[in-house]
Each structure stands twice: as structure tokens, then as C-alpha cells.
């Protein structure tokens, strides 16, 4: 480029420094504008590459769209990952979810370009094993959120990851069948900033691995795990829990869930006990009294909850706004009356196929509690997503 003084002192946009061009790029609010930016010239393409913070493959399961579903899946290899990470060297979020044949070696580029990565999604990456977690541990020391849904990892790899990435806050291990309490213990003890953990359908998890976890741990999803009474105590032991999903858990005794109400879960706001068919009045009474901030409670298909349980909810759950009682066989007119006379902040009652509720009891409930919206739909999942 020539001397501006030789051209009448005029300055063009090409005379702007890179930081100004980066600032301009950040102000582009539409995706088409951002994509077109790099087509202008090589310099602007470099600015576009340096400014990119998030990358997701079309085959990714992280954010499904009609366009991604209609396209033919490509076999993402180590070559593709290396090319893209070489181009985009300042990524903070990377999704390789759905790259089912990606091997551990495909994560090698993270050794050179993963230092700034904060979120990593590897859902259904069936080729990723403990060796891959070792690569992540050494290449991505700043990662705070990782999803390993259905990955073939073990406690060994999880311990390696926990030791290397102590800043982890959110971890998704759902359907990781080889994970047990041993790996969870390493995660709970090494990662002092942990906020959310998903271990749904990890059949080797009893909950004991959460014992002594950080008070920052506010979100635990343990759906369909084989929790033990001592494990339930471990789950709530941190004292900071706000969301707990133990729907469909296998317990030898429904009374084991009473541990939720022993005083460690006083901050609990959302509790999902859906399909806990053997949870009884003892547990319900303990939870109702021990969790004063509870705002949403899913008791759908909890057939052993009877009069004493419903009465304790009516008396003690003064913060409850949403209650799910779908298909509860032992919710009768007296139980509904207890909910009607209590739960003064209740806004929504989800109920259907409650065969012991008479039409008269329903009409009385609507008459006295006109502000409560009765919905016949059955909600399977409640609460926030684990990554939020």
C-alpha cells in the first residue's frame, strides 16, 4: 500500500489496524454478514478466523436444525479437526457431537489449539476413550464445561480429566455405563467449582461418589441410577443443591429418599421423583419439612404416596408453585383437599388419570383455588438444562 501523503492524505479502511477491524466484525449481528466479511480479502478472512469463538460440525447433535438433519452425514476425521483448529485458533466452544467414528487421535490438535477452549461437546463420539480424555486434560486446562454423553470412558479417564481440569463446572456423563462412584469421587474432590453433573442411566452409580462434594454443586441429574440410602446422603452432602432429578431410580426401600429432607437440601428448589414407585409417606413428609424452598415437585406415578404424604405437602410446602401428580393411584379426594387447603403459592397442578379423584372433589378444588391452573399434560423433564 502506498504512502497516504502521496494520495492527497486520504485514508482507506485498509489503513485501519487489526483491532479496529475486529471491533467492526463483532458489531455484525447477522450470520450472513459475518460469513461475507471474510470474502472481501485475505486480511479480512484472517480477522474473521481470529474472531471466531464457536464451532459446530453439521453432524453435531448439540443444536439440531432442519438444515443439519437434511444433510448427509460426513465422516469427520482427525484431518478435518486439525484443519479447522489450525484455522480457528481462538475457539472457546467446540462441538464434535455426532462424530461417531472420531478416534482419540482426532483430539490431538487440542494439544496445540485447545488452551482457550471453555466448552467441549463430545456426545455420541463412540471412539473417544480414556486416552482422549488424557489429551483433553493436557490440551484444554481452561475447560469448564464438557459433555461426554454415551462415550466409552471409564473411571480412570474421568480421574485423569478431574486432576488436569480442576476448573470444571459442568460435566455430562449420562449413559456412560463404565462410570462408577470411584470416578465421581475424583470429580467431586478435585473440582472445587463444580456446579452441575449429569449421571443419568449410569447404572454403576450409587451416589456415594458425591460424598463431601463442593457446596457450589447445585445441579445433579441421576435419573435411573441405582442409588443407595447412603448414596442419597452423598448426593445432598454439599449443601448447595438446587435441582435434583432422581426419577426412576432403583432403591431397595422407598424410605431411602428421606435423606433428602435431613437438612442438607434446604436450598433445593426443583425435585423430580417421577416414577419412584416405592417412595412412601415417610420420605415425602421428611422432604416436605426439610426443603422449605421447594418450588417444583414431580411426583407423577409415585403410587405409594398416601394421605399422610399429601397432607404434609399441603402443610409444609409453602413455596411450592408447580406440582405434578399424574397417575398417582393413591391420590384421593382427601389428598386433593389437603393440597387445596395448603400450598398457598401453588400456580400449576399437573394431573391426569387420577382414578380415585371424584368430579365433586375436582369442582371444589377449582372453586376454592381458582388461581391454580390445572393441566392434564404429563411433563417428563422439568427444570433447567444441565449446561445453563
319-364 pLDDT per residue, tens:
999 999 999 999 999 999 999 999 999 999 999 999 999 999 999 9
Query: Residue 86: pLDDT band by 50, 70, 90 thresholds?
Result: confident
User: Measuring CA to CA, which residue among 184, 175, 238 is closest to residue 206?
Assistant: 184
pTM confidence score: 0.87
Query: How many residues belong to the chain?
Result: 388
Residue 157 neighbours by CB distance under 10 Å: 25
* CA distance linking residue 300 with residue 325, whole number of Å: 5
Give the pLDDT score at 9.
Answer: 62
pLDDT (average), residues 357-376: 97
* CA distance linking residue 172 with residue 123, whole number of Å: 9
Half-sphere exposure of 128 (CA within 13 A, CB side): 30
Does 39 score more than 80 pLDDT? no
* CA distance linking residue 245 with residue 256, whole number of Å: 15
Query: Over the chain, what is the mean pLDDT?
Result: 88
- Bridge-based pairing state of the strands 296-298 and 348-350: unpaired
* CA distance linking residue 28 with residue 92, whole number of Å: 19
pLDDT (average), residues 358-380: 96
Amino acid at each position: 500500500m502506498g504512502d497516504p501523503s502521496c494520495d492527497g492524505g486520504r485514508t482507506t479502511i485498509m489503513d485501519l489496524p487489526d483491532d479496529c477491524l475486529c471491533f467492526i466484525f463483532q458489531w455484525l449481528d447477522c450470520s450472513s454478514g459475518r460469513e461475507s466479511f471474510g470474502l472481501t480479502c485475505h486480511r479480512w478472512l484472517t480477522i474473521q478466523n481470529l474472531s471466531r469463538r464457536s464451532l459446530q460440525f453439521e453432524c453435531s447433535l448439540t443444536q439440531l436444525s432442519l438444515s443439519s438433519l437434511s444433510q448427509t452425514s460426513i465422516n469427520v476425521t482427525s484431518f478435518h479437526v486439525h484443519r479447522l483448529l489450525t484455522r480457528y485458533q481462538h475457539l472457546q466452544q467446540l462441538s464434535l457431537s455426532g462424530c461417531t467414528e472420531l478416534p482419540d487421535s482426532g483430539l490431538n490438535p487440542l494439544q496445540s489449539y485447545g488452551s482457550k477452549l471453555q466448552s467441549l461437546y463430545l456426545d455420541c463420539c463412540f471412539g473417544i476413550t480414556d486416552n482422549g480424555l488424557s489429551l483433553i486434560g493436557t490440551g484444554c486446562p481452561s475447560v469448564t464445561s464438557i459433555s461426554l454423553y454415551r462415550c466409552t470412558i471409564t473411571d480412570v479417564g474421568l480421574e485423569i480429566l478431574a486432576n488436569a481440569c480442576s476448573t470444571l463446572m459442568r460435566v455430562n456423563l449420562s449413559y456412560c455405563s463404565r462410570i462408577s462412584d470411584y470416578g465421581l469421587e475424583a470429580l467431586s474432590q478435585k473440582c472445587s467449582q463444580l456446579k452441575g453433573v449429569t449421571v443419568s442411566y449410569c447404572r454403576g452409580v450409587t451416589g456415594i461418589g458425591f460424598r463431601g462434594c463442593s457446596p457450589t454443586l447445585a445441579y445433579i441429574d441421576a435419573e435411573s441410577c441405582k442409588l443407595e440410602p447412603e448414596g442419597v446422603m452423598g448426593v445432598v452432602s454439599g449443601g448447595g443443591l438446587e435441582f435434583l432429578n432422581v426419577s426412576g431410580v432403583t432403591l431397595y426401600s422407598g424410605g431411602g429418599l428421606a435423606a433428602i429432607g435431613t437438612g442438607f437440601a434446604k436450598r433445593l428448589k426443583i425435585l423430580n421423583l417421577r416414577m419412584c414407585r416405592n417412595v412412601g409417606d415417610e420420605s415425602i413428609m421428611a422432604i416436605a419439612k426439610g426443603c422449605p424452598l421447594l418450588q417444583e415437585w414431580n411426583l407423577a406415578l409415585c403410587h405409594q404416596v398416601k394421605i399422610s404424604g399429601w397432607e404434609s405437602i399441603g402443610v409444609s410446602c409453602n413455596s411450592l408453585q408447580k406440582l405434578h401428580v399424574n397417575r398417582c393411584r393413591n391420590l384421593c379426594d382427601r389428598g386433593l383437599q389437603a393440597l387445596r387447603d395448603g400450598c398457598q403459592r401453588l400456580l400449576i397442578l399437573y394431573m391426569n388419570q387420577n382414578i380415585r379423584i371424584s368430579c365433586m372433589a375436582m369442582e371444589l378444588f377449582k372453586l376454592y383455588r381458582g388461581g391454580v391452573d390445572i393441566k392434564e399434560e404429563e411433563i417428563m423433564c422439568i427444570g433447567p438444562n444441565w449446561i445453563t
